[in-house]
Amino acid sequence: MARVLVTGGCGFIGSNFIRYLLAADATVEIVNFDALTYAGNLANLADLQDHPRYRFIRGDVADRDDVRMAMQQGITDIIHFAAESHVDRSIHDSGPFVRTNVIGTQVLLDAAREFGVNKYVQISTDEVYGSLGETGYFTETTPLHPNSPYSASKAAADLLVQAYHHTFGLPTVITRCSNNYGPYQFPEKLIPLFITNLLQDQPVPVYGDGWHVRDWIHVLDHCRGVEAAWRYGRPGEVYNFGGRCEMPNIVLTKLLLKLLGKPESLIRYVADRPGHDRRYAIDCSKAEQTLGWRPQVPFETGLAETIAWYQTHMAWVASIKNKDYVNYYQKQYGQL
């Protein structure tokens, strides 16, 4: 029987993953280890509070004592989601990114060695590959070329993971996924920021010319990929996941306006993000061929469901758009 340490389980993808895995596997036990930063929210898993196979421990992945205490709960596997995850925040201050994403990963890898695990899964990102031109795709062998402090910290973590596999034989797997969307995403990322602003008739800030391209995947498709990589991934391997759904930001923005019945006058073109990666696009054929995985949620369906989720969770949104959020928003966007 598996008792999995899921780090960062109170964030967007981690909370979706825990809910998904507990329902998909009637035997798995999950210990959710999360520091509850600005992005971590116990309300994201309120429905699981009394679940017999779920437990929450508050702790910091960069703190060895916290991590050792969690590992002493009979952990058999680690799935490491915890991270500082927002590019724009990493441009304001890269310190927390290096601490959590690099040192936190090193601490977890040491703990995985010390306690022994069946599998260590590192949740990485397609952003470690850098930026594409108008053609081509990221494969697992594309050289790492991170451009933002966020993606540099994630790439550094990936290199440590591969070194621990190579040097110590740790049974690691790395997943690199494209941009996720879905319920419980913190409204600093494009889709939830724009939906929640538009629901309140607030303007939406499009960076630069708006023709930067992202490859969108529903969070549950990512969760299914992480499960497959955990169960069937070969130690030492990397698996890319993507939605085969490329879209320029301005096209996505106009689609959101249309679905929400809002006027295009709410679009604000603002100064571009420094170092803004032009295009991400994932070749996920390795995961399709070797893990039996494929993205299942059509973008139109997933996006409509996501909009409906935010419409019915405005109290959740209001609790997040607190004083700290307003300060961040002001610093990032000023007056729109």
CB of 244 to ligand TYD, least distance (A): 17
Does 102 bind ligand NAD (CB under 6 A)? Our answer is: no
For ligand NAD, the binding residues in 8-27 under the rule CB under 6 A are: 8, 10-14
Q: Between residues 165 and 214, which has the closer beta carbon with respect to ligand NAD?
A: 214
Q: Which of 150, 181, 239, 280 is an active site residue?
A: 150
CB of 335 to ligand NAD, least distance (A): 26
Does 223 bind ligand NAD (CB under 6 A)? Our answer is: no
Does 155 bind ligand NAD (CB under 6 A)? Our answer is: no
Distance CA 263, CA 258 (A): 8
Q: Between residues 244 and 262, which has the closer beta carbon with respect to ligand NAD?
A: 244
Which does residue 212 touch among ligand NAD, ligand TYD, none (CB within 5 to 8 A, set by kind)?
ligand TYD
Contacts with ligand TYD by CB under 6 A lie at 87, 127, 179, 189-190, 193, 205-207, 212, 214, 249, 273
Q: Which of 127, 158, 215, 227 is an active site residue?
A: 127
Q: Which of 66, 77, 84, 126 is an active site residue?
A: 126
Fill in the per-residue mask, 120 to 139: x = in contact with ligand NAD (CB under 6 A), - = not in contact.
---x-x--------------
Give me the residues that bind ligand NAD (CB under 6 A), please.
Answer: 7-8, 10-14, 34-37, 39-40, 60-62, 81-85, 100, 104, 123, 125, 154, 177, 179-180, 186
Catalytic residues: 126-127, 150
